[in-house]
């Protein structure tokens, strides 16, 4: 027992020294840095949910005003945060070939669901990105539109029900259920039923994917600081229940559809086609990255998974912010309502073309600067 304690103390001391040494990386390079502390680096407030990442970055930005960049630490790992818009633009365009890697951990061999578009880098990312970009063409989005509207009707019924009972709505939760239903239908071709069923498994798993237990935080320390060790230990990025749920759902749905030759107008159908032909018919191109290798079932599952995760939380958060801002800015709310009513009349209801013409609502959601003072609700776009 004593020797285990001694070993434990030695291991902890070595880790402490290693982290402390890591925290000199940026200052050693002449890059300004903050005051990282063991073991969370600069991210303790984010890990403990006292601050969200957007507010944290904003705080750093305000604190470091006048600097072009700052060096940060996520646990022991260093991260470079550009602050100067010109530098940011160069990174995203001119110098993109050096910055295509988000530096997100994944383990294709033991945790294939983690090897999705958001985490992979280099030629593999480029190939998949080129294959999947056509999934967002106006034509594809148009054919998913009916599904989105149908989920909207279910949300309206739910809101009416709540209004008749006690009138109080937790809008973020309702919207998360709505966007889960939408993405579930569009990405997986499944009725997730989150709006009607309070205990829907898709909602439970979506929520679990964005919740961190103490165990998840400890796993993250290893994943972020010692990626090779995380691979040896086969630490999955998400909890086992989330990974096995999505793996099973996507695999079963893909295999069922392929076996029974079922075709639906959704994102999964595009993945099925990419598995079969390696590219989408309408978007046949000579780009060497879009032709050739077909998607494996693991690759297809990982992409459906990230579409679900990247799609439902971001969208419900953005709509929640927009609704909050509109509730506080009556005149903006009225102008939005006027635009929606006018375009409904013009297009005889809620159609794809009506939504495409809603430039004012688009500005509210995505924060384009327009001449008459919409800057007040620019925070809708800070989540980006
Ligand atoms: C308002 C809603 C959304 C916000 C705020 C948002 C935000 C973002 C951001 C900031 C990135 C990283 C961009 C970069 O590193 O250059 C990203 C990437 C991504 N998002 Fe979204 N997103 C939203 C909706 C969606 C939806 C609905 C989907 C899918 C159905 C989606 C799928 C993805 C994917 C797959 C990537 C990785 C793209 C790549 O690496 O090529 N997002 N998103």
Structure tokens at 227: 């990626």
Residue 341 has pLDDT above 90, yes or no: yes
Is ligand 1 within 6 A of the CB of residue 312? no
Which of 21-30, 111-120, 163-172 is least confident?
A: 163-172
Whether 91 is in the pocket of ligand 1, judged by its Cβ within 6 Å, is no
Centroid of ligand 1 to alpha carbon of 117 (angstroms) = 10
Cis peptide before 159 (omega within 30 of 0): no
Q: Flag whether pLDDT at 370 surpasses 50.
A: no
Q: Which helix (H) or strand (E) holds 80?
A: strand 77-82
State the distance from the centre of ligand 1 to the C-alpha of 125, rounded, in angstroms: 14
pLDDT tens-digit profile of 59-86? 999 999 999 999 999 989 999 999 999 9
**Taking a C-beta distance cutoff of 8 angstroms, is the pair 126, 100 a contact?**
yes
Q: What's the predicted TM-score (pTM) here? A: 0.83
Q: How far apart are CA 309 and CA 381, in angstroms?
A: 19
Structure-token match 């690759």, residue found: 299
- Would you say residue 43 has pLDDT above 70? yes
Q: What is the per-residue pLDDT for 129? A: 87
The better pLDDT of the pair 134, 159 is held by 159
- Locate 168 and state its tokens: 């109080």
Whole-number Å distance, alpha carbon 118 to ligand 1 midpoint, is 8
Q: Is 318 close to ligand 1, i.e. is its CB under 6 Å away?
A: yes
Best substitution site from 314, 319, 382 to test ligand 1's pocket, by max atoms within 8 Å of Cβ? 314
129 lines ligand 1 (CB under 6 A): yes
The residue whose C-alpha atom lies closest to atom 15 belonging to ligand 1 is: 102
Kindly state the average pLDDT of the residues 113-127: 92
**Residue with CA at minimum distance from ligand 1 atom 2:** 315
Check pLDDT > 50 for residue 383.
no
Task: For residue 94, report the phi and psi dihedrals to the nearest 5 degrees.
Answer: -55, -45
pLDDT at 57: 94
Residue range 316-328: mean pLDDT, rounded: 95
pLDDT at 380: 29
Q: What percent of the chain has pLDDT over 70?
A: 92
Residue 11: how many other CB atoms lie within 10 Å? 10
Report the mean per-residue pLDDT for the chain: 87
DSSP state string for 157-191: HHHHHHHHHT----HHHHHHHHHHHHHIIIII---
For residue 183, which atom of ligand 1 is closest to its CA?
A: 30
Ligand 1 pocket residue status of 222, Cβ below 6 Å:
no
Q: What average pLDDT does the segment 114-141 reach?
A: 87
pLDDT at 280: 67
The pLDDT value given to residue 218: 87
Tell me: pLDDT of 185 over 80.
yes
Backbone angles phi, psi at 254, to 5 degrees: -60, -50
Q: Which domains does the chain have, with CATH numbers?
A: 15-90 (no CATH), 132-312 (1.10.630.10), 329-384 (no CATH)
Q: What is the pLDDT of residues 267-296, one digit of tens each?
A: 888 888 888 887 766 554 455 555 457 888
**25 HSE (CA, 13 A, CB side):** 18
With a CB cutoff of 8 Å and minimum separation 6, the contacts of 13 are none
pLDDT at 371 over 60: no
Instruction: Please tell me the predicted confidence (pLDDT) of residue 186.
Output: 83
Question: How far apart are the CA of 310 and the centre of ligand 1, in A?
Answer: 6
* Closest protein CA for atom 43 of ligand 1: 310
Query: What is the pLDDT, as a whole number, of residue 27?
Result: 96
Ligand 1 mean position, distance from CA 17 (Å): 37
From the CA of 214, how far away is ligand 1's center (Å)?
27
CA of 56 to the centre of ligand 1 (A): 20
Task: Please tell me the predicted confidence (pLDDT) of residue 282.
Answer: 55
Angle, helices 201-209 vs 240-260, to 10°: value is: 130
Token pair of 361, please?
A: 């609502």
Lowest mean pLDDT across 182-196, 200-214, 266-280: 266-280
């Amino acid at each position: 027992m004593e020797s285990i304690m001694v070993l434990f103390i030695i291991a902890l001391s070595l880790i402490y020294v290693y982290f402390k040494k890591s925290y000199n990386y940026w200052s050693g390079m002449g890059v300004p840095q903050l005051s990282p502390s063991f073991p969370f680096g600069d991210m303790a407030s984010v890990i403990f949910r006292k601050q969200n990442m957007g507010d944290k970055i904003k705080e750093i930005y305000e604190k470091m005003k006048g600097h072009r960049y700052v060096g940060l630490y996520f646990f022991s790992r260093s991260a470079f945060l550009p602050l100067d818009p010109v530098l940011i633009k160069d990174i995203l365009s001119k110098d993109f070939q050096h910055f295509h890697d988000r530096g997100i951990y994944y383990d294709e061999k033991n945790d294939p669901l983690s090897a999705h578009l958001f985490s992979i880098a280099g030629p593999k990312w480029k190939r998949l990105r080129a294959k999947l970009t056509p999934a967002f063409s106006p034509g594809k989005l148009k054919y998913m539109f009916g599904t989105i509207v149908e989920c909207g009707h279910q949300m309206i019924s739910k809101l009416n029900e709540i209004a008749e009972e006690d009138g109080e709505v937790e809008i973020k939760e309702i919207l998360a259920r709505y966007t889960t239903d939408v993405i579930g239908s569009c990405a997986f071709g499944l009725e997730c039923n989150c709006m009607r069923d309070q205990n829907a498994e898709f909602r439970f798993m979506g929520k679990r994917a964005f919740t961190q237990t103490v165990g998840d935080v400890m796993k993250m320390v290893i994943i972020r600081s010692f990626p090779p060790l995380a691979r040896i230990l086969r630490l999955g990025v998400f909890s086992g229940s989330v990974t096995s749920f999505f793996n099973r759902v996507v695999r079963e749905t893909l295999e069922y559809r392929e076996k029974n030759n079922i075709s639906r107008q959704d994102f999964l159908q595009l993945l099925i086609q990419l598995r079969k032909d390696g590219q989408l018919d309408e978007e046949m191109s000579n780009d060497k990255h879009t032709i050739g290798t077909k998607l494996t079932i693991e690759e297809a599952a990982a992409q459906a998974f990230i579409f679900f995760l990247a799609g439902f939380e971001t969208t419900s958060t953005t709509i929640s912010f927009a609704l909050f801002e509109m509730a506080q800015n009556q005149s903006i709310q009225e102008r939005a309502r006027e635009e929606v009513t006018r375009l409904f009349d013009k297009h005889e209801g809620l159609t794809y073309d009506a939504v495409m013409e809603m430039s004012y609502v688009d500005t509210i959601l995505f924060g384009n600067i327009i001449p008459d003072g919409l800057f007040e609700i620019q925070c809708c776009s800070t989540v980006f």
